[in-house]
Every structure is written in C-alpha cells, then in structure tokens.
Amino acid sequence: MTRAAVISGLGGWLPPRMVTNGDLPAELGTSDHWIRTRTGITRRHYAAPGSATSDLAVEAGARALASSGEPQVDAVVLATTTPDRICPATAPEVATRLGLTGAAAFDMNAACTGFLYGLACAAGLIATGVADRVLLIGAETYSSILDPRDRGTAPIFGDGAGAVVLRAGTPDEPGAVGHIDLGSDGDGAGLIAVGGGGSRQRLSGRPELEGERYLTMSGREVFKHAVTRMADSCRTVLKRAGRDVADIDRIVAHQANIRILHQLADELGVDRYRVVANIDRVGNTAAASVPLALLHGVADGALRPGQRTLLTAFGAGLTWGSTLLTWPDLALRD
Ligand code: UT7
C-alpha cells in the first residue's frame, strides 16, 4: 500500500510583543476602524529586536515534536521568506537547536504558500522512503522587512511560527495528507516583492534607496488573484479526490484578509462559518499562517477530529497550493 504522510503533531509560537491597531504609529495614517473593517485584523505580534526567524521556528518546532511524542525526525523543512541570513539556510541551525543534528534540513521559499509546498515536500520524502518522520515548520519575521511608513503593508503582516510533525502511515488514516495541488505564475513576481538584497538588485546602501530592503505589495490586484487562485486550486484538489464542496467540513486558508476568506467561501459555495479564521489576532504571518490557523482552530474548538478539511494558500511568486485531509486527534502541548 502507498505510504502516506500523516500529521501526528502540531505546535506554534507567537513572540510575546503584541501590537494592537491602536499601537501603530499615528504617522502611518491609518485607523483601527479601517484595519478592522478592511482586513479583520485587530492585533499582530512582533519579534523582539535581536531575535530572528530561527528563534521562533525552534519554539514552534519543539511544541510540535512534544505534541507528536516523537523525539527524533529524519528531516526538517523550514518554510520561510525571512530566513536568518541568505546563506546558509536556517533549517540546519533550527534542527541542531532542537537536538536533531544529523537530520536532513533545508529552507523552502514559497512565501505565504510555503506551508503547502512544504507539505508536498514532506509527503514526497515519506512516500519515497527518504524519511519516516518529517518536522515541517513555517516561521516568519516579517517585521524585519516591513516599511514602517507603508500603510499598505505595515498593519497587515505579523511575526509567528507554526509546525507539524508528519510520520509514515496509510492514506485512509485521519491526518493523512491527500491529493495536493501546487501552482505558480512568475508574471506576478513584482506584485509582492522585496526589491533589493538579492543578486538582481544588490543593496546599494544609499540612504535615499532605503526602501529597496522593504516588502511592497499591490494589494488590490493581489486580493483578486488570492480569491481566484485559491478557489481554483481547491476545486482541483476536490476533483482529484472525487469529492464535492458539500463534503467539506472546514477550510483552513492562508490568513491574508478576512474579506478574502469570506469571498473564497462564497466563490466555492461553502458556508462562511466553515472557514477557520485567526487573522484577527495574528495578522498575515505568511508561511506560518496555515499552521497557526490550524493550531488556533483546534484550540478554539473550530477544528475538530474527523472533519474533512481543505487547506489552501496563496502568496508571492505568485504561488498557490491546496490539499485535503481528515483532521486527526492530536494532543497539543504548551
Ligand atoms: O499574503 C500574501 C497575499 N496577500 C494578500 O492576499 C493581500 C491582499 N490584499 C489585501 O488584503 C488588501 O488589498 C489590502 C488590505 C492590502 C488593502 O485593502 P484594499 O481594500 O484593497 O485597499 P486599496 O489598496 O484598494 O486602497 C483603498 C483606499 C486607498 O485610498 P483612496 O485611494 O481610495 O483614497 C488607500 O490609500 O484605502 C487606502 N488605504 C488605507 N487607508 C487607511 C490603504 N491602506 C490603508 C490603511 N489605512 N492601512
């Protein structure tokens, strides 16, 4: 029988510093009312100065390992757009700090879709027998790339980390990752981007070009892509699985905007209450978004064992991806 990747542990971590809409600087020219009604966000968390994505990833990874009861894994996949540094990858250091020295470890950059790409990667490692157990972490420190003067991004994004452990199992088990759809469209590369710092546009260090190290986003255009790409991807997964939207109990989607979540539900013809949402308390945490939504959904009682659940995400690249699984019964650890 085919080896499936089965979710056996879940954990997450938010840095303690919480920033409410009212805490944002007045110079940003925004308001609590605008942010709440246009995005659904009321607060987000920022990593303390001096702390990095690896610090968040270690906290989330440790909780996922404790939740699974697995002391060891064979591979660590870190989905992130904000690694500690360009080279080397952050995952090996995270693995070592978790006591997993020797495990395969690498970073994956698919922006806000990173967790879905990571699930596909973990499923592949397990299906081919390269690994029996994989720790998949989505961790981000977007506060390090936000322009504090850009009201189109600064109120939207937050820091955080979420993680799952996957083990080899069978496709019919609760928690088994089912059909996966992944996609990309590089024509939209400029719609969400950090312009400088890579090999194309090297950092000049000139003060008047300081903006080159910040994230920019064409919000309105990205919004439309987010709804249509996630909806199409969900339909593709349902079709491959021989399922219909009527079979779906919950949708756990990338948390970019509450209006996107509602439009996604409407587009698919799924009742809005079936969409798990935690964007109010975390904002957009990019690759950490889906695992944190899973964690908060379980903690809130919105996501329960046995529910047939669609996971879907969309992000910079452009990238998107979806999968279908039956939510398993997991023990959460603080
Ligand atoms: O995670 C990766 C994927 N990312 C996404 O999916 C994000 C998708 N985009 C969005 O969520 C929304 O586009 C935003 C929340 C980023 C922006 O909301 P919007 O409703 O699309 O606003 P907009 O950019 O169309 O701007 C509408 C108006 C503009 O004013 P005028 O030109 O109509 O006078 C903006 O200047 O709202 C203004 N505005 C703001 N006002 C107060 C934009 N941002 C703000 C703000 N506070 N923070």
Specify whether 112 is catalytic: yes
Q: Percent of the chain beyond pLDDT 70?
A: 100
What confidence category does residue 207 fall into, taking pLDDT thresholds of 50, 70 and 90?
A: confident
* Coil, strand or helix at 85: coil
Q: Indicate the DSSP class of residue 237.
A: H
The yes-or-no verdict on residue 17 having pLDDT over 90 is yes
- Name the CA radius of gyration of the chain, rounded: 19
Mean pLDDT across 30-48? 98
pLDDT the model gives residue 1: 64
Q: How far is CA 275 from CA 81, 88, 203, 252, 281, in A?
A: 25, 37, 41, 6, 16
Task: Note whether 10 and 163 are within 8 A (CB).
Answer: yes
Return the number of other C-beta atoms located less than 10 Å from residue 31's C-beta.
15
Instruction: Report the Cα 65 to chain-centroid distance in Å.
Output: 18
Q: How far is CA 109 from CA 78, 139, 245, 289, 317, in A?
A: 9, 11, 30, 14, 9
Q: How far is the CA of 333 from the centre of ligand 1 (A)?
A: 37
Helices and strands per DSSP (H, E), number in the chain: 8, 14
Q: How far apart are CA 137 and CA 296, in angstroms?
A: 16
Q: How far apart are CA 332 and CA 12, in angstroms?
A: 10
Q: What tens digit of pLDDT does each residue of 267-308 get?
A: 999 999 999 999 999 999 999 999 999 999 999 999 999 999
For the record, the structure tokens of 116 come out as 């879905």
Q: How far apart are CA 24 and CA 134, in angstroms?
A: 38
Q: What tens digit of pLDDT does each residue of 122-153 get?
A: 999 999 999 999 999 999 999 999 999 999 99
Question: What domains sit in the chain, N to C, each tagged with a CATH number?
Answer: 4-169 (3.40.47.10), 180-326 (3.40.47.10)
Specify whether 254 is catalytic: yes
Q: Indicate the DSSP class of residue 209.
A: G
Atom 14 (ligand 1) nearest CA: 219
The response to whether residue 287 sits with its C-beta less than 6 Å from ligand 1 reads no
The yes-or-no verdict on residue 245 having pLDDT over 90 is yes
CB-count burial class (<10 Å; 0-12, 13-18, 19+) for 183: middle
User: Would you say the pTM of this structure is higher than 0.95?
Assistant: yes
Q: Which of 109, 112, 278, 296 is catalytic?
A: 112
Atom 41 (ligand 1) nearest CA: 30
Strands 319-326 and 308-315: antiparallel
Of 138-147, 207-216, 312-321, the range with the lowest mean pLDDT is 207-216
Q: Indicate the DSSP class of residue 322.
A: E
Q: What tens digit of pLDDT does each residue of 147-164 get?
A: 999 999 999 999 999 999
Q: Which among 132, 156, 192 has a CA at the least distance from the CA of 315?
A: 192
